[in-house]
Amino acid sequence: MAWPHDHTDARFRGAQELAGMQGQVASRRQLYGIGITRWEIRGQVRARRWQLVGDQAVCLHNHVLDEEGHRWAAVFQGGPRACLDGVAALVASGLERFDHERIRVSVPRGARVRRNRRYDIRQTRRWSADDVVPFGIPRTRVPVAAVRAGLWALTDRQATYLLTLVVQQGLASPSAIGTELLRIRRDKRRALLHVVVNDLLDGGRALGELDVAAELRRRGLPPPERQVLRRDARRRYYLDLYWPAFGLVVEIDGIHHTWAENVVGDALRQNSLVLAGNTVLRLPLLGLRLQPDEFFAQIAAALRAGGLTGAA
């Protein structure tokens, strides 16, 4: 980007270098700190070389600001102790395949909140300097951000999906998220997040089987045999839920079933069961949390197809 002849001094070169590391955005405080005056900022804006983003950030070009630039502008708008939080912090740390509307910024209790319709800037009693990543854009650490994103999600389904994405994409381990979740003493969604984290740890596998058994009873469906040992020509394995009279197998899948090293073994086991004349349904723990009615309707349909009468 070429600067006007009268602005090629070290101050403006320094501003350009600084903004280049911050999505082409600098704060007023930063610009004042390297010697650029408010009158010079105003002159650059009037000449349409720069543009203001809120009242605390300056974009050092006049084009459309990208998401990285908006994240920096949101933090600057929040003030010196502001940090990206929740989904915004996760996206800044590399989360993919999740869209969010407003950028969430947290500031400590008692801090001044400069309102902005584009950015969601809020005080939080949970703010702590120890939770902020010490490099790059100020943002909460991934495990902390994941827990808060779950607590602040619009729905239980969104909360579950968010935590699952964080683990699947390798941004944080279930145990790290669980450790941070233990810090939450009161919240209406706290119990749900504990269940989800337990599922992600795969310690929820047995609990998932118990949940399914309870739901089957509630829906008037026959109980399965659990953890039945089977053998084929290659190896032995256990079936999670099995109705031998109806030729139905239901496999409860924890998150580890989505990992590449388990795909081949799972496929061989399922194929062996199908070749032996069984119907095999897969019930991911995530599906049990998000869409239980659809999955239990499929189990009921499979039992009826196997000869069950009188099922709802």
State whether 72 and 182 are in the same domain: yes
pLDDT score, position 8: 60
Q: How confident is the model at residue 259 (pLDDT cuts 50, 70, 90)?
A: very low
Q: Which of 59, 80, 97 is the last residue of a domain?
A: 59
State whether 141 and 46 are in the same domain: no
State whether 36 and 127 are in the same domain: no
Q: Does any domain span residue 6?
A: no
Domain count, the chain: 3
**More confident: 206 or 258:** 206
**More confident: 265 or 68:** 68
Q: Does any domain span residue 185?
A: yes
Give the helix/strand (H/E) hosting 248.
strand 248-253
Q: What's the whole-number mean pLDDT along residues 299-303?
A: 92
Q: Look at residue 120 and tell me whether its pLDDT is greater than 60.
A: yes
Task: Provide the CA 121 distance to its chain's centre, in angstroms.
Answer: 20
Q: Look at residue 266 and tell me whether its pLDDT is greater than 70.
A: no
pLDDT score, position 206: 55
Q: Does any domain span residue 110?
A: yes
pLDDT in tens, 180-195: 998 998 899 998 898 8
Q: Are 4 and 60 in contact (CB under 8 A)?
A: no
Which three-class secondary structure state does DSSP give residue 148? helix
Q: Does any domain span residue 311?
A: no
State whether 284 and 171 are in the same domain: no
Distance CA 267, CA 247 (A): 18
pLDDT score, position 237: 67
Q: Which of 184, 200, 216 is the last residue of a domain?
A: 200
Q: Does any domain span residue 54?
A: yes
Q: Are 175 and 125 in contact (CB under 8 A)?
A: no
pTM: 0.70
The residues facing 25 across adjacent strands are 59
State whether 42 and 72 are in the same domain: no
Q: Are 197 and 163 in contact (CB under 8 A)?
A: yes
- Listed as own residue / partner, the contacts of 201-210 with beta carbons closer than 8 Å and 24 or more positions apart are 201/174, 201/175, 202/254, 202/255, 202/256, 204/254, 204/285, 205/240, 205/252, 205/254, 205/285, 208/252, 208/254, 208/283, 208/285, 208/288, 209/240, 209/241, 209/252
pLDDT in tens, 137-151: 999 999 999 999 999
Q: Look at residue 4 and tell me whether its pLDDT is greater than 50.
A: no
Q: What's the whole-number mean pLDDT along residues 214-234?
A: 77
Which strands form 83-84's sheet, in the order they lie side by side?
Answer: 83-84, 103-108, 119-124
Q: Does any domain span residue 35?
A: yes
State whether 222 and 122 are in the same domain: no
Q: Look at residue 58 and tell me whether its pLDDT is greater than 50.
A: yes
Share of the chain above pLDDT 90, in %: 51
DSSP 140: B
pLDDT score, position 261: 42
Q: Which of 178, 200, 222 is the last residue of a domain?
A: 200
Q: What's the whole-number mean pLDDT along residues 252-277?
A: 62
State whether 182 and 80 are in the same domain: yes
Question: Which domain does 19 fall in, by range?
Answer: 13-59
Q: Does any domain span residue 310?
A: no
State whether 155 and 262 are in the same domain: no
State whether 90 and 115 are in the same domain: yes
